[in-house]
Amino acid sequence: MNKPLKIVTSNKLALTNFATAFALLLVGGFLGLIQGLNRAGVLEIVGGINYYEVLTLHGIFLILAFTTLFMNGYLWSATDYVLGGLSKGIRMMGWVAYGLFMFGALLVTIMVLAGEATVLYTFYAPMAASPWFYIGLVFVVLNIWLSGLGVFISAFRWKRRNKGRHLPLFAFFAVGVYILITFATLFVAAEVFYIIPWTFGWIDTINVMLTRTLFWAFGHTLVNVWYLVAVSAWYMVVPRVIGGKLFSDSLARAVVILIVVLNVPGGFHHQIVDPAFSEGLKFMHLFMSLAIAVPSLLTAFALFAVLERTGRRRGGKGLLGWFWKLPWHDVRFLTIMLAMISFIFGGAGGIAQTNNQLNQVVHNTLWVVGHFHVTVGVAVVLTFFGLVYWLIPHLSGRVLTKKIHNLGIWQTMLWTVGMLFMTLSMSYVGLLGSPRRTEYTTYGGNATALEWDPYLLFVGAGGTLLFAGVVLMVYIVYHLMFLSPKGYTPFMVVEEEEEDAHKTPKWTENWGLWVIVAVLIISMGYVVPLVDLIGNAPPGSPPIRTF
């Protein structure tokens, strides 16, 4: 008798998350196109919505909503698959989490469209939105906590059933991701619960620097959460797609632990030009920020080792012959490989921005926007796109057709070229001083501002290509969900290690200890600035509406 095919049991929940994520990508991408064309000076935004509302929604839909929903769909599927299914109660928890997200997202969107929350996705005080905007954010955070709880409970139950065994690596990644995002959201929850009474008028003033510090403890960590989600695919999916093996189970687990433990204090470098902090404190935080580069470099080493070994096994000769033997024609590999290559540049740019002097040159310029479009827009999002080609057919019980595969190659090319246009021009024009978060203006025909115009045209061109890429991607997702032929697509997860790999030590499983170490390191990073900001608090600011 044939062995039954192994599938994800919570496929409807995952597909719902993905469908919503890609619908939001379509809307958010369209808003991005409007912005890009506006910045290029070829489109004036009319019709009762302004540039800053468009910018706020673009940020919220893409950096918060699309990513969160994709993460939930992907990591819940992975946890479900490797742990042998999720219980009914846990699946119900996933649906409740999804409902909370939708309610929160709806509240946030209505407030922005009503012109009551044009505060951008960073919602810096003293700009004050309607309290309902922040209440909506609370529900989004509740979605994250509940989703995390589902994964933690499932992992805990599996460990109890399988005493002495290591948690499967994919589930280990999921546990790490949700622990990290829980730490991050604790800070933003504190910030939002401080802002809500202020916007209701129950307290008169707010400590602006305190809210910024709480925000960046969350904001930076959140971006690293998306990165860790992408890294999980690099370790778990890429070797399977190219027919290779996992480089080292121990190293992968050490990377997850390091990213979780070291990450949160790294957020301080977003405030490197803020007042109210001493130079010495900023210098100390430089080390904490750069510490995150360590697991990234370990990852680069492990992944290149996998690629080289597999390329050589496929007949690659010489120093770089293996590189051309990799399956470049396979969209599942091409997308993720381009994502990984982009992270080399994105990561290097991030290290440069962590440097106080260099940051002063690029702070609040379009350079920063270019940077996070490389890291999130390419390294993370292209990885997500690469997962779609097998994960969605697996969940929908369909198979990838040649036509959609080839369309995927075009989509990837379009996305890469669009991002190259956009990020290179943003980065360069940022160095020339063009500010971020600003509607198109020539500042009264100022010569310096006019100098930016040719580069800004490329931002618009890149945005146009990217929107075409979004449309293609949404069509691909729709096709894979509803139109592709029925069939079985295997779940892509690497199962073996290289023969000479080091045996995984048991201490990697000690999540209780890693959480304590993370609390210790976070307190090392944040006790000094927070006590100072609270102890030496200025009178504070009343709510200000610039919109």
Partner 1 sequence: MKQFWYGLALLVFLALPPVRELLESVMAFHMHMQMMLLFVSGLLMAPFFQKRFGHIFESFNKTGLPGVVIFLVIVVYWMMPRAMDEALEIWYVELWKFISLPFLAGVPLRDSWKKISKTFEVVLFLVLMVIFAVMAYLYIFAESTLCNNYLMIDQQTVGWGFAFFTLCIIMYILLVLFTDQSQYFGDDSETS
Element housing 43 (H / E): none
Tell me the two tokens of residue 374: 């490389």
Residue 82: CB minimum distance to partner 1, A: 8
- With 0-12 / 13-18 / 19 or more C-beta atoms within 10 angstroms meaning exposed / middle / buried, residue 433 is middle
Q: In this chain, which of 317, 510, 542, 544 binds partner 1, going by CB under 8 A?
A: 510
Among 94, 168, 266, 430, binds partner 1 (CB under 8 A): 168
Smallest distance from partner 1 to CB 505, Å: 4
Q: Which is nearer to partner 1, 422 or 533 (CB)?
A: 533
Measured between alpha carbons, how far is 363 from 365 in angstroms, rounded to an integer? 5
- In whole angstroms, the minimum distance from the beta carbon of 211 to partner 1 comes to 19
Site for partner 1 in 200-259 (CB under 8 A): 249
Angle, CA 519 vertex, CA 513 and CA 523 arms, to 5°: 150
Report how many residues bind partner 1 under the rule CB under 8 A. 36
Q: Does 513 bind partner 1 (CB under 8 A)?
A: yes
Q: Is residue 294 near partner 1 by the rule CB under 8 A?
A: no
Longest dimension (CA), the chain: 78
112 phi-psi bin (left φ>0, alpha ψ -120 to 50, beta other): alpha
Tell me how far, at minimum, the Cβ of 517 lies from partner 1, in Å.
Answer: 8
Binding of residue 275 to partner 1 (CB under 8 A): no
520 touches partner 1 (CB under 8 A): yes
Which residue in the block uniquely carries the two structure tokens 């310096």? 448
Q: How far is the CB of 2 from partner 1 (least distance, A)?
A: 24
Distance separating alpha carbons of residues 277 and 280, to the nearest angstrom: 8
Instruction: For 459-497, give the DSSP string.
Output: HHHHHHHHHHHHHHHHHHHHIIIIISPB----------B
Q: Which of 43, 284, 409, 474 binds partner 1 (CB under 8 A)?
A: 284
Stretch that binds partner 1, among 212-220, 315-323, 433-441, 528-536 (CB under 8 A): 528-536
Alpha carbons within 13 A on the beta-carbon side of 488: 7
Chain Cα centroid distance, residue 23: 17
User: Is 398 within 8 Å of 470 (Cβ atoms)?
Assistant: no
Query: Which residue among 297, 450, 483, 516 contacts partner 1 (CB under 8 A)?
Result: 516
Taking a C-beta distance cutoff of 8 angstroms, is the pair 113, 71 a contact? no
**Binding of residue 156 to partner 1 (CB under 8 A):** no
Provide the mask over 104-143, with x wherever binding to partner 1 is found by CB under 8 A and - wherever it is not: ----------------------------------------
Using CB under 8 A as the binding rule, whether residue 506 contacts partner 1 is answered as: yes
Nearest 5°: the CA angle 468, 471, 466 is 35
What tokens does 447 get? 């010569």
Relative orientation angle of helices 331-354 and 293-313, to the nearest 10 degrees? 150
Q: By CB under 8 A, is residue 280 in contact with partner 1?
A: yes
The reply on whether position 507 binds partner 1 by CB under 8 A is yes
| Choices 7-15, 321-329, 332-340, 516-524; region in contact with partner 1 by CB under 8 A | 516-524
**531 near partner 1 (CB under 8 A):** yes
Q: Could you say which of 167, 306, 326, 473 contacts partner 1 (CB under 8 A)? A: 167
One residue of 318, 445, 485, 535 binding partner 1 per CB under 8 A: 535
> CA angle, 465 as apex, 417 and 62 as ends, to 5°?
100
Could you say which of 6, 157, 166, 314 contacts partner 1 (CB under 8 A)?
166
Closest by CA position to 79, among listed 163, 147, 162, 160: 147
Instruction: For residue 543, give every residue at least 6 positions away whose Cβ sits within 8 Å of its Cβ, in sequence order, or none.
Output: 126, 128, 198, 199, 206
The yes or no reply on residue 344 touching partner 1 (CB under 8 A) is no
Closer of 488 and 507 to partner 1 (Cβ): 507
Applying CB under 8 A, which residues contact partner 1?
A: 82, 163-169, 249, 278, 280-281, 283-284, 497, 503-507, 509-510, 512-513, 515-516, 519-520, 523-524, 527-528, 531-532, 535-536
